[in-house]
């Protein structure tokens, strides 16, 4: 085995530094390794320069610089591989949950919103941040455009957050999605075109990427703007909802005034049967109206993910895009333990009608009809017509209509007493 001279060793040491090896420890290790390889290969037929160039080829296309880069990555980014594994696992799980949630949503199965929410949450807080961090390190060390990765990350986060807002029916979802789409089209694509398209030899793939991205964002934003009830129809419907609520509040105030007026008239005769009837009517009405009020708050809190106290104060206009179709059937029909089911409300209305019939037999009770209805030539139950396969907005509207019937019946009974 041939031994290297001091001059040859010095040449290798200097060449290692020239090729980008800055770490002293790594430089020593590489020097020792290269010297051993060269000494094993040297013979009487090949010179030092030839063997040295062959040895350098053993380190790959990027040569010694790649080893330095990998060493720096491991030294400055110690959790690279664990983060890379976490990114992959979170990506697989989140994509699987999103696909499952979409399938559940399509089939109107319970749990769809939960699957979508958790899937998008994992995508937003784990996969995308880890992907950006890893890509940032790669971009920084391969001289790629960091701006491209940054814009892609921000727009992806905006899309994910916007989707979460849509799932939870929180305000601002459409605005967030539009900002994400505009950022992708007006910021990402120009940089992509300049930094990638002009420098790539495969123009077809780059061109197809741009076209598909523009078409995808356009279709997504179109679906975002067109989904749900058209705006004029929605405005008309919600005008009816708010007017019904205003009319309900007016009826309640008028009935309270009549109670006060009657109470003054009967103050001199506390044992009067009329006074007892009025008190019984008021108590029965208050009990039923309290139940319907709590029922609305309960259903809104479950579909919107807020407390019942917050649900009682919510602006009904905030429910324009609310759904809840995947959990409302269980709450209203499926769960026996549900405190506010359609059947319970029907029974309470029936009990209230009995009280009214006892107090004022001639009162018209048609406004509180809970019998079967004919819809499109088919007989359906009262519960189905008011609550089955309807979004939370329509269910709340139907409960308000029921409350209007209660207040109107109360007023009619007062006139009969």
pTM for the model stands at: 0.51
52-61, 94-103, 135-144: least confident range: 135-144
152-156, 209-213, 325-329: least confident range: 209-213
Of 243, 288, 307, 265, the closest CA to residue 407 belongs to: 288
Which of 258-293 are b and which e, b meaning 16 or more Cβ less than 10 Å from the residue's Cβ?
ebeebeeebeeeeeeeebebbeebbebbeebbebbe
For 80-96, what is each residue's pLDDT tens digit? 678 788 888 988 898 88
pLDDT of residue 161: 81
The total of other beta-carbon atoms located within 10 Å of residue 212's CB is: 10
Of 371, 389, 391, 390, the closest CA to residue 381 belongs to: 371
- Whether the per-residue pLDDT at 234 is higher than 50: the answer is yes
- CA dist., res. 301 & res. 249, Å (int): 22
Extract the tokens encoding 41. 């290969």
pLDDT of residue 98: 82
- CA dist., res. 325 & res. 308, Å (int): 19
Mean pLDDT of the chain: 77
Q: Which residue has the tokens 């059937």?
A: 329
Average pLDDT over residues 248-253: 88
Of 259 and 215, the structure prediction assigns the larger pLDDT to: 259
Average pLDDT over residues 21-36: 77
Extract the tokens encoding 321. 């895009």
Residues in the chain: 417
Of 286 and 62, the structure prediction assigns the larger pLDDT to: 286
pLDDT band at 208 (very low <50, low <70, confident <90, very high): low
pLDDT of residue 170: 67
Say whether 36 sits in a helix, a strand or coil.
helix
- Whether the per-residue pLDDT at 271 is higher than 60: the answer is no
44-53, 88-97, 163-172, 363-372: least confident range: 163-172
Average pLDDT over residues 298-307: 83
């Amino acid at each position: 085995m041939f031994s290297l001279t001091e001059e040859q060793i010095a040449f290798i040491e200097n060449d290692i530094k020239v090729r980008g090896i800055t770490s002293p420890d790594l430089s020593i290790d590489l020097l020792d390794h290269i010297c051993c390889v060269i000494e094993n290969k040297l013979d009487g037929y090949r010179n030092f320069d030839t063997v040295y160039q062959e040895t350098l080829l053993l380190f790959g296309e990027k040569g010694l610089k790649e080893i330095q880069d990998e060493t720096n990555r491991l030294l400055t980014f110690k959790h690279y591989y664990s983060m890379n594994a976490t990114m992959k696992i979170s990506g697989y799980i989140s994509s699987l949950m999103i696909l499952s949630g979409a399938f559940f949503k399509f089939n109107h199965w319970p749990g769809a919103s939960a699957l979508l929410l958790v899937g998008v949450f994992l995508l937003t807080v784990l996969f995308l941040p880890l992907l950006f961090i890893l890509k940032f390190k790669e971009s920084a060390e391969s001289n790629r455009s960091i701006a491209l990765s940054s814009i892609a990350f921000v727009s992806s986060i905006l899309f994910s957050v916007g989707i979460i807002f849509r799932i939870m029916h929180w305000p601002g979802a459409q605005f967030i999605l539009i900002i994400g789409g505009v950022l992708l089209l007006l910021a990402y694509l120009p940089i992509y075109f300049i930094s990638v398209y002009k420098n790539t030899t495969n123009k077809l793939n780059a061109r197809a990427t741009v076209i598909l991205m523009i078409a995808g964002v356009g279709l997504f934003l179109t679906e975002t703007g067109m989904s749900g009830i058209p705006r004029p129809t929605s405005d008309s419907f919600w005008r009816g909802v708010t007017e019904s609520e205003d009319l309900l509040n007016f009826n309640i105030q008028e009935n309270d005034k009549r109670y006060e007026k009657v109470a003054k008239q009967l103050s001199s005769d506390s044992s009067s049967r009329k006074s007892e009837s009025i008190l019984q009517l008021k108590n029965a009405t208050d009990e039923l109206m309290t139940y319907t009020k709590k029922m609305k708050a309960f259903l809104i809190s479950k579909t919107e993910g807020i407390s019942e106290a917050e649900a009682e104060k919510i602006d009904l206009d905030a429910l324009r895009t609310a759904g809840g179709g995947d959990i409302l059937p269980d709450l209203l029909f499926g769960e026996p333990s549900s405190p506010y089911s359609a059947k319970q409300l029907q029974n309470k209305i029936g009990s209230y009608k009995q009280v009214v019939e006892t107090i004022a037999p001639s009162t018209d009770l048609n406004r509180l009809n809970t019998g079967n209805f004919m819809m499109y030539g088919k007989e359906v139950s009262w519960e189905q017509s008011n609550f089955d396969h309807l979004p939370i907005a329509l269910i709340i509207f139907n409960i308000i209509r029921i409350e209007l019937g209660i207040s109107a019946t109360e007023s009619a009974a007062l006139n009969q007493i």
